[in-house]
Structure 1
Amino acid sequence: MSLMRPLDPNFPIERQVALDASPVVLVNVFTLDKADEQTFLQAWQADADFMKRQPGYISTQLHRAVGESPTYFNYAVWDSTADFRAAFTHPEFRAKLSAYPPSAVASPHLFQKVAVPGLCVA
């Protein structure tokens, strides 16, 4: 991966993974050049296959922007930040980042569900 750009520069993913929380949702927005879409999809699939085998992994879903925008959004659910941290910092995963095309920019961020009465549960 050529670049990681935090969604919140004051609290990037490196700070988030140091906290203990569970469960957590990883949201990752990817921007890239249209010509790099196939390379991106192959790299993302290899990452997802690795993550799927890791303890604490629950699920993932990749979305593509509507229309001509080569923007992707990944949503992955983990049992805890500790499980995600172990997978995210694993040397095998880190080595896979070099397979992403140079135009790819990732913006990963961790979230937790919020209860809003009458609308959603935590």
Structure 2
Amino acid sequence: MTSEKGIAAVEFALALMGLLLFFAIFIQFFIFFAANERATFAGFAASRVFSVQGIGPAVETSEKIDSDSIMTFETNRVAVARQIPMPSGINNFLTQGRGFSIEIEIPTFNELDYKNRLEQDDNDF
């Protein structure tokens, strides 16, 4: 009977380690997803503010939403880059120490281009 209790304890320990590993990977995936969404929204908001008010308010807007993102403003797009933090053990195992980074390009709102597209849509009918 004691050997069955020992076997059950070992199985429980192995199953618990597997469960904790799954939970850690799930949490890391959630951190990656949340950082991606935050960077995307910061870029989207910054591109809209940049189109209307210029670069100063656009930088302030993006800093309020995601201060870890690096924004690059051009006349027709906003480029967003963000490094996602990872524990060093997972980072070395999964990405060979390079880490995860996000790079997103979001077009700015160009009123003339928008009017031209609307006129082209009207001509299609």
Normalising to structure 2: TM-score of the pair? Answer: 0.29
Instruction: Name the structure where helix makes up a greater proportion of residues.
Output: 2
Instruction: Name the structure where strand makes up a greater proportion of residues.
Output: 1
Bigger Rg, which one: 2
Tell which has more relative contact order, 1 or 2 (C-alpha 8 A, sep 6+). Answer: 1
